[in-house]
Structure 1
Amino acid sequence: MSFEPISTPFSRFPKSVWLSSTEMPSYPKLAKDIQVDAAVVGGGITGMTTAYLLASKGLKVALVDAGKIANGTTGHTTAKITAQHDLVYDEFISHFGEEKARLYYEANREALHFIKNLVTDHAIPCQFKEEDAYIYTTSEANIEKITAESKAYEKLGIQGGFLEQAPLPFRTRAAIVMKNQAQFDPIPFIKHLAHAFIQLGGQIFEQTTVVGVEKGIPATIKTNDGHEITSRYVVSSSHFPFNDRNGFYFAKLHAEKSYALAARTEIGLAGGMFINADTPSRSLRTVMAGNEELLLIGGESHKTGQGMCTYQYYEALHQFGVEQFKLKEVWYHWSAQDLFTLDKLPYIGQELSDSPNILIATGFKKWGMTTSVTAAILNSAIITCEKSPYEELFSPSRFHADPMVKTFILQNANVAKHIIAGKFDIVYRQAEELHNDEGAVVRVNGKRAGAYRDSDGELHVVDTTCTHMGCEVEWNEAERSWDCPCHGSRFSYSGNVIEGPAKQALAKVDLFVKK
């Protein structure tokens, strides 16, 4: 693979350093009905690890993905393998007690060890490197939070502790370190798992969109091309659960976007992985691109579809890199989207009591490298009737009044606000006004529509009503996509689904515009 820098500061379409560095094989589209022991929907690290583990235990397994495997969140991560998931342990002790907070840490620590052992045993060339993980603050207002988190580490027996100055080239007011964590490149890791899975008799199908499942034992998965997969077990690892019957999950999850760039800098990191406790968020680690060590800078989170001009987030990361690390040249930039649950614990396990053979894994709140493996280990254990200490902790049917009720009210009030705002939004622009490579919400025949004129001058016009729950999508300039501010569905400029929960494309609007 070549490692050429992109145009400075940002190219028209983002690209991830991970997906640019490793060529993945292609797999066929499902072309007939099949029958298996277990079907895994979603080809990121969660789904691929789940499929690999189940095949290792002797099950006949098929994995299907709506696009290409590893092309979703896994290919757009910062790829930190750590149990340090922001300042969560003091909060978890407060909400759930020490025992459950410790179980959360142990589950993610075991996931780290699983990845480390697999990489070591199979000599996977994926830049795996053990590093300490740090949370730091440059604000006096957050010192107390970091102090409280350090006390939580002591209670839970987590190796690390409080520091005043993190090993960074700028001043910090306080920091906390978690020892012996790791970072890697996830794509060679997924590539190895896929190969091993095929060797175990597994089947992978790309460009195969699942549109629903008929519950029962066995269950029947239905695809958009009319083919069916009959399976004793179904595991939804497709980011947003594809089988969200009666809106069970959309009210319990919200989507957030974050951004990253990889760049050459004059000042580098001496080691370690970093994230701040402040707003806006900043994440730091190194990555090798060929023979060049780049600094990966991430952050700038916001709810999907609720950002303003999305280029501003890349520009803010670029400016931070210039100020703190003397950034010289941006090589890659990309964004990621992930889901948050009401209580910040992922939903992993049996979906509902009336369908115990359908399992889910979602809500990793941007820490999917360990929680994805945790989900794979837990779901494969449930399917093979093995005991796990984590089943109750991550159960999708759990209920914690504190903090779930408050978060539920706030999140759904936010959704209601955007539904109403979108319907009554006054639009003045006309599609004819758009220049090449420009998109906007426009008015067509007196109605709201979305238009994008590509670099060749061709106009693409779509209905801006999201096909999931009827919210109005907004234009994402940096990604050239239509994003839903209610539940995080994303569509290409021509209306095709990029990310769910929506399953159907945006309707096209007929418009003849004289160039």
Structure 2
Amino acid sequence: MTKENGNEGRLPTFPEPYWLDNIEIPQFGSLKDDLEVDVVIVGGGITGITAAYLLLKEGVKVAVLEAGKLLNGTTGHTTAKITAQHDLIYDEFINHFGKEKARLYYQANTEALNFIKKMVNELAIDCNFTEQDAVLYATSEKYARELEKEYQAYQELGIDSELKEEIPFNIEIENALHMKNQAQFHPLKYLTHLVHLIKKAGGLIFENTTAVNVEENEQGAVVLTREGKRVTADYILACSHFPFYEGTGLYSTRMYADRSYLLAVKTEEDYPGGMYLSVDQPSRSLRSAAGDGENIVLIAGEGHKTGQGKDTLEHYKALEAFSQKVFHTKEIMYRWSAQDLTTLDKMPYIGAITSTQQKVLVATGFRKWGMSSGTVAAKLLSDIVLERDNPYKDLYTPSRFIGDPSVKEFIKENADVAKHLIKGKLDLPVQRIHDLSEDQGAPVTIEGKRKGAYRDKQGKVYIVDTTCTHMGCEVNWNHGDRTWDCPCHGSRFSYTGEVVEGPAEKPLQRDEHTFLDNITSEDSGY
């Protein structure tokens, strides 16, 4: 565990997900030689692993390429709710898409929940799967009215639900909307079981293998890796959170990245059951987690656009204050953050990456609901490869463009990108390296130029160019996670400049002064 010794109730020093506690995830080597398979899947999260399992069952030769370690991306940083209750969405979908498509969305996610439940039962997967009600609650009159509208949408769509006036916590609310018979689980226990089955069935998995581009030739689609290797396949499934390859789909301009924050805490009280999410801002999410007889609660929320807003450590502190108010928190075990992508119309993009590239399939834009949406995507992509009918193919097609709200959101999001691009170029930091304390990072000025500097606990300073290698925006320091985050398209980099999240593929340029030891003197010029 990564808590501070002797500081019970305080935030852990380093971010680390609760799900990685006491679990052994199989490890695999990197791709060493060129390869030919039927399908190559890029991304080792819930979508990629589930799709690989489904395709292997049908006799398809599959290879999975993961840029880092399996299940350590967004899937390993989730709240792991399996539900069709995706915040306030059904009233909006009825207005924008119509009742039939809103119903299809609910059905797709309900089928995903039932698929996971069936897998858990038939394969005897020990992953703490429990059925729970999913609950949205409002703490203001404004959002109470929004919940009433959402409840009416539930009634129109035939969703089993109930509107109540209270929840079993020390939180004053106006009303609460229950969606019955949803579920939660331990995502890594579930997926690790599938990884073992993939390996047993002859599936190929390669870690530390970064896919960077796609070529299409007469033999089939070809994935090129950063290491110079080629994987030839009939189909490419881009399941890497942000698509590693955009083609002409312009996904950078059609999605935005959000960050949210999570704590795993031990409490004195027994948890009353249910999965909860506030619809007011800042959001608050609650669910229980199994912990060897101890009461463990996952508390999440504080969402904001990546690379924008206040000091990110303040979001963790806000969740800590909330946990102390609502629960008698004995200990904060873990803290971590997650990044999620939202499409222009809030519907995920699942299917052919463009209308002219039918052999390259994509799954992205799950909007914080990756456990159900990732499973929907795995089933849909598998059906496309196997040339099977799927009732949700048109609903999720990435080539769609709905006039309302897509046009408005496209203009809004890309105006925001332009604003941050210009602002970053005009703002010259006032700080210099000697101003930095230990374990502090910030944009600094070196010889009249904007750079990024981080001083570690031993006094070593790491300096990078702050220009994002994706589209040239200037990255900002993320104090809570010790990363450089881009406010334009959500790329993230470690303090040494390595890519943590796409769409960027290349690391930040390291400055010629990189890795300086113990710079403290103002006379240094830094």
Please tell me the TM-score bracket, short chain as reference: over 0.9
Deviation at 1:266, TM superposition (A): 2.9
Q: How does 1:270-281 map to 2 (within 5 A)?
A: 270-281=272-283
- Does structure 1 retain, via aligned residues, the 8 Å contact 2:2–2:16? no
C-alpha distance in 2 between matches for 1:201 and 1:407: 44
- Does structure 2 retain, via aligned residues, the 8 Å contact 1:440–1:475? yes
Q: How does 1:37-436 map to 2 (within 5 A)?
A: 37-216=38-217, 218-246=220-248, 248-436=250-438
C-alpha distance in 2 between matches for 1:232 and 1:315: 49
Instruction: Specify the SS of the correspondent of 2:171.
Output: coil
Deviation at 1:435, TM superposition (A): 2.4
Q: Extract unaligned runs of 5+ from structure 1.
A: none
C-alpha distance in 2 between matches for 1:268 and 1:295: 10
Letter in 2 for 1:474: N
Instruction: Specify the SS of the correspondent of 2:38.
Output: strand
C-alpha distance in 2 between matches for 1:12 and 1:110: 40
C-alpha distance in 2 between matches for 1:179 and 1:23: 33
Letter in 2 for 1:231: A
Letter in 1 for 2:432: Q
Q: TM-score, normalised by structure 1?
A: 0.97
Q: Tell me which residue corresponds to 2:485.
A: 483
C-alpha distance in 2 between matches for 1:320 and 1:59: 49
Q: Cα deviations across residues 162-213 of structure 1 (Å, max 9, x unaligned)?
A: 1122333433211111000000000011101111111111000000011111
Count how many residue pairs are aligned between Structure 1 and Structure 2.
Answer: 514
- Does structure 2 retain, via aligned residues, the 8 Å contact 1:168–1:269? no
C-alpha distance in 1 between matches for 2:128 and 2:39: 32
After superposing on structure 2, the runs of 4+ consecutive aligned residues of structure 1 that deviate more than 6 Å are: 2-6
Structure 1 residues 465 and 4 mapped into 2: Cα distance closer, same or farther (>3 Å)?
closer
Letter in 2 for 1:469: M
Instruction: Specify the SS of the correspondent of 1:337.
Output: strand
Deviation at 1:4, TM superposition (A): 7.4
C-alpha distance in 1 between matches for 2:190 and 2:4: 24
Q: Tell me which residue corresponds to 2:495.
A: 493
- Does structure 1 retain, via aligned residues, the 8 Å contact 2:428–2:449? no
- Does structure 1 retain, via aligned residues, the 8 Å contact 2:39–2:62? yes
Letter in 2 for 1:305: G
1:14 aligns with 2:21: no
Bigger Cα displacement from structure 2, 344-353 vs 320-329: 320-329
- Does structure 1 retain, via aligned residues, the 8 Å contact 2:249–2:353? no
C-alpha distance in 1 between matches for 2:170 and 2:250: 46
Instruction: Specify the SS of the correspondent of 1:66.
Output: coil
C-alpha distance in 1 between matches for 2:336 and 2:482: 12
C-alpha distance in 1 between matches for 2:483 and 2:423: 20
- Does structure 2 retain, via aligned residues, the 8 Å contact 1:268–1:325? no
Instruction: Specify the SS of the correspondent of 2:336.
Output: strand
Q: Cα deviations across residues 419-441 of structure 1 (Å, max 9, x unaligned)?
A: 01100012111123322211110
C-alpha distance in 1 between matches for 2:305 and 2:172: 30
Letter in 2 for 1:182: A
Deviation at 1:458, TM superposition (A): 1.4
Seq. identity, %: 51
C-alpha distance in 2 between matches for 1:464 and 1:153: 47
C-alpha distance in 1 between matches for 2:342 and 2:89: 13
Instruction: Specify the SS of the correspondent of 1:292.
Output: coil
C-alpha distance in 1 between matches for 2:199 and 2:518: 52
- Does structure 2 retain, via aligned residues, the 8 Å contact 1:153–1:161? no
Q: Tell me which residue corresponds to 2:458.
A: 456
Instruction: Specify the SS of the correspondent of 2:21.
Output: helix
Instruction: Specify the SS of the correspondent of 1:234.
Output: strand
Deviation at 1:318, TM superposition (A): 0.7
Tell me the C-alpha RMSD between the 2 structures.
1.4
Instruction: Specify the SS of the correspondent of 2:152.
Output: helix
C-alpha distance in 1 between matches for 2:176 and 2:334: 29
C-alpha distance in 1 between matches for 2:316 and 2:22: 21
C-alpha distance in 2 between matches for 1:17 and 1:513: 34
Letter in 1 for 2:426: F
Bigger Cα displacement from structure 2, 23-32 vs 267-276: 267-276
C-alpha distance in 2 between matches for 1:103 and 1:160: 17
Instruction: Specify the SS of the correspondent of 1:289.
Output: coil
Deviation at 1:247, TM superposition (A): 6.5
Q: Tell me which residue corresponds to 2:523.
A: none
C-alpha distance in 2 between matches for 1:267 and 1:91: 37
Bigger Cα displacement from structure 2, 287-296 vs 435-444: 287-296
Q: Tell me which residue corresponds to 2:522.
A: none
Q: Tell me which residue corresponds to 2:504.
A: 502
Instruction: Specify the SS of the correspondent of 2:148.
Output: helix
Deviation at 1:9, TM superposition (A): 1.4
Deviation at 1:323, TM superposition (A): 1.0
